[in-house]
Structure 1
Amino acid sequence: MQNQQVFNRYSLAGLGATLIGNGIGRFAYIALMPALIQAGWFDESQASYLGAATLIGYIFGAPAIGLLTKRFSIGVLIKAAMLVSSFTYLGCAIENAPIAWYYMLRTLAGIAGAMLIILAPPIVVRMHTPAIRARISGIIFSGIGLGALLSGTLVPLLIYHSIVSAWLGMGVVALITTFLTWNAWSTQSEQQAAGVVNASFANLSNVQRITVILILIAYSLDAIGYLPHTMFWVDYVVRELEMPFFTGGLLWASFGFGAMIGPLLAGVMGDKFGVRRSLVVSFMCKSAGVALPVISQHPTALFVSALLVGIFTPGTVSLVSIYTLESVGYELHTKAWGMMTMAFALSQGIVGYLMAYLAPTLSSYNVLFSTSAGVLMISACLIAISPTPIREPFPEGDALQTKD
């Protein structure tokens, strides 16, 4: 009997992987950034570049998978990436260390995060039937939102004690998550790892290639679209708008709440209305959310902005992963998704560093919000014109038979 339950040990293990790999790995630092500057740990330029260092790590994470999967099973790599990510936070708790120490740890966090985001979702989705795979993907990527929610609530509380305690707190959360999901990854077989290495794009049709290229470009632009909120949102609220740090934390928590429910909402939309149509709507809504602070700085507008961008940041990631699956099939999903993540990482790394360079010289973050909103509308148009992939039949034996 094929697995029809959406909440089971495997989907929750996938949630844990994205929680550590992107939720905590990216968003906790964003919440910490203003406090790190105000406490004198880093100056504004150093703090911005440290945020971009994680993005650069994502660039190295994708090609590292191609080498490592030749020697290790996917389950082993996922476990190792979880441990590395956890210990990078504990290492950052060392105060007054050389700046190179923090750059190294934040880059390692990016590498480990990329591995978790690329490897875990396709493996878990493959265990379930097509009828629920968008919802399964939604559960997996809701870990990103859960991490953002934790960073917007737990981090401000820990900062009131000390910045060291905030670093340690995130590291402990990551370690606990690793421990709770450890056994789920022990079931992954060497055959799954071999499929990642041996799959080839040679047999794709022209229609499939066009669709993949358009998804690739749209997803690369999506990386630019979400950067102002995920790099500078708390700093924008606290320092540009001169609101209390507590308010910045609450608005970031609203982003986190949206990000937690966003993939679940996207999953339901994808299964009910179709993945492509849902992805177009998601990009448009996300664009509106990014543009909203340019129109109004009222707290309600800021809350809606954070909520919309929060909902559709991991929501679009979830839908892009499933749309890629529909376009190339199961055997190529991991490799194609790795290529998508690589393009996303390159885009966010290059533009992230550019934004980090420009941010201290800008009189307002509104320039970045406007640019990103326009880029997201282009993503929506590219998905809208992409050829509809043929939904392939569910391969016999691909769904894992479990009692969950």
Structure 2
Amino acid sequence: MRDAVFNQTERGTFQVWRGVLAGASASLIGIGLARFAYTPLLPAIIGAHWFPASTAAYLGAANLGGYLVGALSAGPMAKRARAATILRAMMLMATVAFVACAFPVSFLWFFAWRFLSGISGGALMVLAAPTIIAHVAPSRRGFASGAIFTGIGLGIAASGTIVPLLLRQGLTQTWLGLAAVSLVLSIVAWNGWPSQDAPAAASAEQHRHAKAPPPPALRALFVEYALNAVGLVPHMIFLVDFVARGLGKGVDAGAQYWVLYGLGAIAGPLLTGHLADRAGFGAALRVAFLLQLIAVALPAVSSNVAWLSVSSVLVGAFTPGIVPLVLGRVNELLAHHPAAQKGAWRTATTGFAVLQALAAYGLSFLFSESGGNYEMLFAIGAGALAVALAVDLFAALRSK
């Protein structure tokens, strides 16, 4: 019975679930905490006069820049060392970065450690899930990958709940508290990784497939995932400010919508993974694009409390929930060429990181130039998702 659920390449079912836990811990550290926990810390950093507002924002960009470097360097690192060794090192580097950020020695010091935390996040995103999923039966990969990326959602939820509680003890104590959580998660994950990497393709034919240009459907998926990053940015950056200042409801009301966003983010990966196991990754991805399009467009057309709540929960759910769908679709499209799967996932992650960073800066510029037009930002995000859906439908029709 167990063989029908998981591939018994390691130590049985128990080992696979320990691997899923390790992957979830990695995503929680590298993305959930290292990136999203910084959002509520930024006002405190400015308020404590660690850095002026004019330069503190660049510290957030440092993590995004490091994330891109980490995504690009994960492949070369994996060629020189076992995946488990790299994953352990990246989790420890993120932990050390939290400790270093507890002491504002200088702007350059802080920027460097935020950059290194971004590198760890990028490498963990590229390597953690594929390392585990390679040992999971295809029929359960949606749920397993969803469980792994639940760590991102937990980090988003923590950014609106646990971090404010830690801040009551002080800014330095908050960074050290995050370091302690990261260290515990690293210990939990330490022996959860597979003892050996999945077998690499050995034949000349398989190597040719690994080096061959990606099929049209895969190239379309890269574009769709990058456009999805653009669609998520308005909520990630402007949701709380839109409610607090744009609608005049105040900071407390804005924080309530961020909690809804975080609750959606916890459940999102598991729900999308379950949907993929039932309907297939291609169909689930189209449903995701459509629901995101509607959810991101809602704040542009309505300020109704109920609709804003729905929008917050749905976009929160798909912020981490889109990740297992794209990973599963990559593996689905390259099912007969497993040697190419990790490289394709790295390409998809890199494209997502680039468009996310460009959209963050670009929408911030447009917001400033437009005199604070929030509706325009959500409309642009919805437009990007509409294009992503159109590209996916066109690619599907073309492949028939």
Q: Which interval holds the TM-score relative to the shorter structure?
A: 0.7 to 0.9
Quote the residue 2:72 is aligned against.
63
Quote the residue 2:236 is aligned against.
230
3-state SS, counterpart of residue 254 of structure 2: helix
> CA 1:108–1:199 in structure 2 vs 1: closer, same or farther (change >3 Å)?
farther
Quote the residue 2:352 is aligned against.
344
Judge conservation of contact 1:277–1:384 (CA < 8 Å) in 2: no
Judge conservation of contact 1:233–1:252 (CA < 8 Å) in 2: yes
CA positional deviation for 1:368: 1.9
Distance, in Å, in 2 between the alignment partners of 1:334 and 1:155 is 34
Q: Does 1:321 align with 2:330?
A: no
Distance, in Å, in 2 between the alignment partners of 1:357 and 1:104 is 25
Judge conservation of contact 2:31–2:152 (CA < 8 Å) in 1: yes
Distance, in Å, in 2 between the alignment partners of 1:299 and 1:38 is 31
Distance, in Å, in 2 between the alignment partners of 1:343 and 1:363 is 28
Judge conservation of contact 2:21–2:192 (CA < 8 Å) in 1: no
CA positional deviation for 1:366: 2.9
Quote the residue 2:195 is aligned against.
188
Quote the residue 1:163 is aligned against.
171
Quick one: which of 14, 26, 30 aligns to 1:17?
26
Distance, in Å, in 2 between the alignment partners of 1:204 and 1:73 is 19
3-state SS, counterpart of residue 82 of structure 1: helix
CA positional deviation for 1:208: 5.9
| Partner deviation per Cα, 1:329-368 (whole Å, 9 max, x = no partner) | 3332211101111111111222323334455554233322
Quote the residue 2:266 is aligned against.
260
Quote the residue 1:378 is aligned against.
387
Q: Which residues in structure 2 correspond to 1:114-153 (within 5 Å)? A: 114-153=122-161
Judge conservation of contact 1:30–1:232 (CA < 8 Å) in 2: no
Judge conservation of contact 1:290–1:309 (CA < 8 Å) in 2: yes
Judge conservation of contact 1:18–1:140 (CA < 8 Å) in 2: yes
| Partner deviation per Cα, 1:271-322 (whole Å, 9 max, x = no partner) | 1112111111111211222222222334433322221101112111110000
Q: Which runs of 5+ in 2 are unaligned?
A: 7-12
| Partner deviation per Cα, 1:208-265 (whole Å, 9 max, x = no partner) | 6101100000011111111122233334444544545444333222211111111111
Distance, in Å, in 2 between the alignment partners of 1:376 and 1:301 is 19
Distance, in Å, in 2 between the alignment partners of 1:205 and 1:383 is 24
**Residue-pair matches, total:** 386
TM-score normalised per structure 2: 0.87
3-state SS, counterpart of residue 240 of structure 2: helix
Distance, in Å, in 2 between the alignment partners of 1:89 and 1:386 is 43
Comparing 284-293 with 142-151, which one deviates more in the overlay?
284-293
Distance, in Å, in 2 between the alignment partners of 1:359 and 1:57 is 25
Quote the residue 1:46 is aligned against.
55
Quick one: percent identity of the two aligned structures? 35
Q: Which runs of 5+ in 1 are unaligned?
A: 391-404
Quote the residue 2:106 is aligned against.
98
> CA 1:106–1:75 in structure 2 vs 1: closer, same or farther (change >3 Å)?
same
> CA 1:287–1:39 in structure 2 vs 1: closer, same or farther (change >3 Å)?
farther
Tell me the amino acid that sits aligned with residue 316 of structure 1: I
Judge conservation of contact 1:82–1:178 (CA < 8 Å) in 2: yes
> CA 1:188–1:335 in structure 2 vs 1: closer, same or farther (change >3 Å)?
farther
> CA 1:80–1:292 in structure 2 vs 1: closer, same or farther (change >3 Å)?
same
> CA 1:195–1:14 in structure 2 vs 1: closer, same or farther (change >3 Å)?
farther
Judge conservation of contact 1:142–1:314 (CA < 8 Å) in 2: yes
Judge conservation of contact 1:153–1:249 (CA < 8 Å) in 2: no
3-state SS, counterpart of residue 373 of structure 2: coil
Judge conservation of contact 2:211–2:340 (CA < 8 Å) in 1: no
> CA 1:367–1:171 in structure 2 vs 1: closer, same or farther (change >3 Å)?
farther
3-state SS, counterpart of residue 183 of structure 1: coil
